[in-house]
Amino acid sequence: MNLTDQLHDVSIRAMFFDKKAGEAVEAAGQLDDVLKSKLDKPVSLLKQGAENFKSVNTDGKLQHQARAVDTALTTQRSVLNNAIEHQSKNVQEVLNSGFEKLQSELTTFRTVQLKNEIKQIKASVTEAEIAASGLLERFENEYRIKIEKLFTGLKEQMDDINTANADPVGKQSKLKQKSK
């Protein structure tokens, strides 16, 4: 409730009190002189207070000032609402900007992390290639030559068998010599 409306309500009450004070003066006038003399001063003060209350609340200057205060308060409320709305937008923009920056930083972090993981995979593949190369070289040096010697020996024995089958007399003795 604005000040003008409050002043209007108080003015109505002031007029009511002034009316009741007037009725009290009339009622006091109907009393006997002894009682009237005892109530004269208090009733007069009551009437004076009610009149002052009424005159203050029905004063045009006071009502004008109340309207000015109401206007100023309404204007100030509007200014405050606009300031709150503006600052809320600023805060929202800052939060949005911060969120976007955070998303960008997370994307960059993920990209860097992915690149590092790819580098680690490449390094692991290179290490595996080197290890496999070493194993192949070891196989070549240790086993291939032995296997080739065994196959060469088998081939020679097969050749000897084939030759022995072709010339049974001369070659059998040669096979027996090798097996001994």
Separation CA 27–CA 68 (nearest Å): 41
Cβ contact 70:4 at 8 Å: yes
Percent of the chain with pLDDT over 90: 31
Enter the tokens of residue 96: 């949005």
Stated pTM of the model: 0.43
Look-up of token digits 């003066």: 25
| Residue-range domain boundaries for the chain | 3-104
> For 40-68, what is each residue's pLDDT tens digit?
788 788 788 888 877 777 778 878 888 88
> For 154-179, what is each residue's pLDDT tens digit?
888 888 888 877 765 555 555 555 55
* Helix 60-138 vs helix 3-29: crossing angle, to nearest 10: 150
Per-residue pLDDT at 168: 57
Separation CA 157–CA 171 (nearest Å): 11
Separation CA 140–CA 33 (nearest Å): 146
> For 83-113, what is each residue's pLDDT tens digit?
999 999 999 999 999 999 999 999 999 999 9
